[in-house]
Structure 1
Amino acid sequence: MVESSPVRAPAVVRHFARIVDLGIAALTVVVFVAIALATGVRSPWPAVIPVALVLGALLLVRRRWPMTVLLLSIVAIFVYHLVSWSPPGWIWPIAAAYVTAAATSRVRWVAVIGVAQLLYSAIDAWWVIDVNPPVYFLHVLGEGLLLAAFLGLGLAYAAWLRWRDRPDLRDDSGS
């Protein structure tokens, strides 16, 4: 019996994936810094730019090590949050890490990690409930919906990959 070697994606597909990864990494750096500046951070060098660069670099290897990238991204955000004021939308930089990790066989762990991060966010923002309860609940609800969207996108992407790689699941007969 002849063993078949794994099919390698065409060069155009591999290069496109690298370009997408570079774009996501660059966008992460720009958006993270822009949100920080727009929300009152005066000097981005002490913490914002280094964390943005770390998050961007992590996203370059997210396809190879999705769970590691997700965990390290969360650690980077957590450390940033401890040493500096954290602007709203701090879950944004790890969106691609969540989606990529959710597309793996470890989606349950991704959900557990996401719920833990959501709980941390809810506890951390608890002071807002005394000032403005609707804002607090919208914050928690919004982050929960983002988490659900990331998990859903990852599951949909994984399903699409399975469908793409299994010709017996596709109906190409045109009927």
Structure 2
Amino acid sequence: MTAPPAATRGTDLGLVVGTVAVVALTIGAGVAAERAPSPVAYAFAVGFGAVLLARRRWPVGVLVVTVLGIFTYYALGFPAIGQALPAAAALYSAAELGRTRAALAVGAVLVGVAAYFRIAEGLPASYLLSYELLTNVALVAAAVALGVSVRVRREARADQERLRVAALAEQAAEAERRLEAQRVRIARDLHDSIGHTVSVIAVHAGVAAEAVGRDDALVASSIAQVRDATRSTMRELRSTVRLLRTSGEDAARGAVGLTGVPALAASARAAGVEVDVRLDVPDGAVDGAIGAAAYRIVQEALTNVLRHAHAARASVAAHVADGWLDLQVRDDGTGAGEGASLAGQGLRGMAERAGLLGGTLTSGPADGRGFVVHARLPARLDA
């Protein structure tokens, strides 16, 4: 069993010393007794205090022993000390430790027995009702009320501490969820970025391989495009690493947005696909996270065009209306073909990205020829 804290021991010793001192002083001041104060009477005072040392383990037992001690004290004819006074600390202890009913019941017995013997002694009823009975009842009620009040305050503090701990645990869990979401977002961004670059590199590498020995200028141009695409991806990878070391707000500011779409289009054009870009999105019209998601959707869609669509032309259009960003990527190709599985994974990733932000993404064959990806995202996350 662990030792009680210092504050608890101090409270217990204070009750012991206070009870002994009050009862002893009352005994010494007694004048109407069958005999003069004796060491035995003072021993009772010490006993009333000492028994309180066990109040936390046996609060009701301490209260019963105290009341029986009071009855015994008066039966031996020692100086009057009041019926409720020696039991005040025991009544308080029982109520403080959650034994309120027992405290009230024992207090009622104590007051009732005292009143009975006072009436038997011939004490006037008017005096009994107006002074002694009222005093005993008030003392019992005050002791019990004080104990209940202390217990309620202590339980309230304990509840507040539990709520604080629960709030801290919830904050830690939320931080972990945000960290996991950040990991998923970074993984998806890296997939989109590297996938797009690999597609560009594959196209230009194929062109260079076919032109070797026949068109050195075309070979040099294709290799230059591969070099530029690689450098661009390395810059983005370094930027991603920097974002990992910044706060969420700084990361949102540093993320690629719709302003990066023309560069994606230029990369696709260099790979042989003519891309038309129409962005009707004023500066500040969409949140940073929305712009970053739109950029990644365009990147993945153009990557699929380069890899699987066998398209000659593609278009990217975006505008804001009624609090929503409407984004569309269309091509004139022949579909996914042999890359249907990989393209499907990319489309699922885009749909998940849109759904996490409260938007939607649909994709499928365009009217007549080609393929279209259509995303609707909220312009503001707090909308």
Normalised-by-shorter TM-score class: 0.7 to 0.9
SS in 1 for 2:87: helix
1:96 to 89, 94, 101: 89
Decide whether aligned partners of structure 1 residues 131 and 99 sit closer, same or farther in structure 2, where only a CA change above 3 A counts: closer
Paired residue type of 2:60: M
Q: 1:44 aligns with which of 25, 33, 38?
A: 38
Q: Which secondary structure does the structure 1 equivalent of 2:80 belong to?
A: coil
More strand by share: 2
Query: Which residue is 1:16 aligned to?
Result: 7
Letter in 2 for 1:136: L
* 1:136 equivalent in structure 2: 128
- Name 1:26's counterpart in structure 2: 17
1:108 aligns with 2:101: yes
Aligned position for 1:118: 111
- Tell me what 1:35 maps to: 26
TM-score, length-normalised on structure 1?
A: 0.79
Amino acid at match of 2:90: A
Contact 1:102/1:151 (CA < 8 Å) preserved in 2? Answer: yes
Q: Which has the higher contact order (CA 8 A, sep 6+)?
A: 1
Q: In structure 2, what is the Cα distance between the partners aligned to 1:143 and 1:91?
A: 5
1:68 Cα deviation after fit: 1.0
Counterpart of 1:4? none
Q: Is the 8 A contact 1:114 1:147 kept in 2?
A: yes
Does the aligned pair in 2 maintain the 1:32–1:48 contact within 8 Å? Answer: no
Three-state SS of the structure 2 residue aligned to 1:125 is helix
- In terms of mean alpha carbon deviation, does 130-139 or 148-157 score higher? 130-139
Q: Which has the higher helix share?
A: 1
Q: Is the 8 A contact 1:37 1:44 kept in 2?
A: no
1:160 and 1:37, CA in 2 relative to 1: closer, same or farther beyond 3 A?
same
C-alpha displacement at 1:148, in angstroms? 1.4
Question: Paired residue for 1:73?
Answer: 66
Structure 2 distance, partners of 1:15, 1:169, is 22
Per-residue deviation, residues 23-81 of structure 1 (Å, max 9, x unmatched): 22122222212111111263321x31121121111112212221111111111111111
Q: Over the residues paired in the alignment, what is the CA RMSD in angstroms?
A: 2.5
Unpaired runs of 5+ residues, structure 2, are: 165-383
Q: Which structure 1 segments of 5+ residues have no match?
A: 1-7
The corresponding residue for 1:59 is: 52
Q: Considering only CA atoms, is the larger Rg found in Structure 1 or Structure 2?
A: 2
Percent identity of equivalent pairs: 26
Asked if structure 2 preserves the Cα contact closer than 8 Å seen for 1:163 and 1:169, the reply is no
Question: When the two structures are aligned, how many residues end up with a matched partner?
Answer: 159
- Does the 8 Å contact 1:69/1:97 carry over to 2? yes
- Which range moved further: 143-152 or 83-92? 83-92
SS of 1:59 mapped into structure 2: helix
